[in-house]
Amino acid sequence: MIVARTRAELETALARLPRPLGAVPTMGALHAGHLSLARRARAENASVALTIFVNPTQFLPHEDFERYPRPLEQDLALAEEVGVDLVFAPPVEEVYPPGFATTVSVAGPSQHWEGVCRPGHFTGVATVVTRLLNLLRPERAYFGEKDYQQLQVVRRLVSDLALPVEIVGCPTVRDPDGLALSSRNVYLSPEERQRALALSRALFTAAERVAAGERDARALEALMHQHVSAAGLEVDYLAVVDPVSLEPVSEIRHPARALGAVRVGTVRLIDNVALVPPP
């Protein structure tokens, strides 16, 4: 496995890799969710490149950029284990060289939910994803459904800018008790982790109700609120939305998505599930 730290090293490494290339953009602190993306990329491409870059522009000033976990040696070992060919782990100035002055701003699916709670976050994501895709030029890029809104923002930007890459969305990986894997789960105390389960339980309860015939999105949102409030979680949003536009829906006649963001102590968690009405 090659580790490239600079754009020049990346170019040299890319020239040696057989195509097609699958890219897995990450911020490191790799867990089983990231590794599932890398394995899928491994199965579908001749080469796999994984990027590790804690992107400063997608963090708000009060957020956890400084304390975000950066276990690089462990990440490299895990990447090698799952058959990654190339890791691009650049310092900030390789991604944003002096004079860098461009941002990529996606409206549409960015406008609600995370876009409201974390203003500017998706511009940071869209800018770095565009930059990384242009540096790696992969045939495919793999993103987790755990960050469902991010996935739709990336799909929108790739379509709007006609970037020559296929975006592959991959299912959320969960602990056996349902908690969606996240690099931020390490911040949870055992007691907080237990209470955090109310989020996935609320979302899955909503999915069960929809499968049983419930179509009223507001009733489902109220139900989800009851679940998470009973566990003492602070709600940023719990919403039933169109799976592509991320606009709220009122009646579930077609597949929709339930999205949630809650705070458990100082830790903010997001999750989502598909809502599939009976035929």
Contact string (CB under 6 A) for ligand PAF, positions 144-173, x = contact: ---x--x-----------------------
Residue of 65, 68, 74, 156 lying closest to 115 (CA atoms): 156
Tell me how far apart the alpha carbons of residues 1 and 22 are, in angstroms, rounded to a whole number: 15
Nearer Cβ to ligand PAF (128/198): 128
Residues that are catalytic: 34
Contact string (CB under 6 A) for ligand PAF, positions 103-142, x = contact: ----------------------x--xx-------------
Nearer Cβ to ligand PAF (157/258): 157
Q: Are 166 and 172 in contact (CB under 8 A)?
A: no
**Quick one: three-class SS letters along 73-108?**
HHHHHHHHHCCCCEEECCCHHHHCCCCCCCCCCCCH
DSSP 164-209: S-EEEEEPPPB-TTSPBP-GGGGG--HHHHHHHHHHHHHHHHHHHH
Tell me how far apart the alpha carbons of residues 243 and 184 are, in angstroms, rounded to a whole number: 25
Contact string (CB under 6 A) for ligand PAF, positions 65-94, x = contact: ------------------------------
**Nearest distance, CB of residue 199 and ligand PAF, angstroms:** 18
**Nearest distance, CB of residue 68 and ligand PAF, angstroms:** 10
Nearer Cβ to ligand PAF (85/147): 147
Residue of 20, 23, 19, 10 lying closest to 167 (CA atoms): 23
Q: Which of residues 195-254 bind ligand PAF (CB under 6 A)?
A: none
**Nearest distance, CB of residue 147 and ligand PAF, angstroms:** 5
**Nearest distance, CB of residue 87 and ligand PAF, angstroms:** 13
List 240's β-bridge partners, or say none.
Answer: 258
How distant, in Å, are the alpha carbons of 12, 16, 90, 251, 253 from that of 25? Answer: 19, 20, 12, 35, 34
Answer for which of 4, 14, 27, 202 binds ligand PAF (CB under 6 A) is: 27
By the rule CB under 6 A, 25 interacts with ligand PAF: yes
**Nearest distance, CB of residue 26 and ligand PAF, angstroms:** 5
Q: Are 7 and 94 in contact (CB under 8 A)?
A: yes
Mapped onto helix, strand or coil, the DSSP state of residue 123 is helix
Nearer Cβ to ligand PAF (55/110): 55
What is the enclosing helix (H) or strand (E) of 35? helix 32-44
Nearer Cβ to ligand PAF (41/240): 41
Number of residues that bind ligand PAF (CB under 6 A): 10
Answer for which of 55, 127, 149, 272 binds ligand PAF (CB under 6 A) is: 55
The one segment of 23-31, 72-80, 232-240, 248-256 that binds ligand PAF by CB under 6 A = 23-31
Mapped onto helix, strand or coil, the DSSP state of residue 39 is helix
Tell me how far apart the alpha carbons of residues 179 and 48 are, in angstroms, rounded to a whole number: 28
Tell me how far apart the alpha carbons of residues 225 and 240 are, in angstroms, rounded to a whole number: 12
**Nearest distance, CB of residue 81 and ligand PAF, angstroms:** 19
- Interaction site with ligand PAF (CB under 6 A): 25-27, 55, 58, 125, 128-129, 147, 150
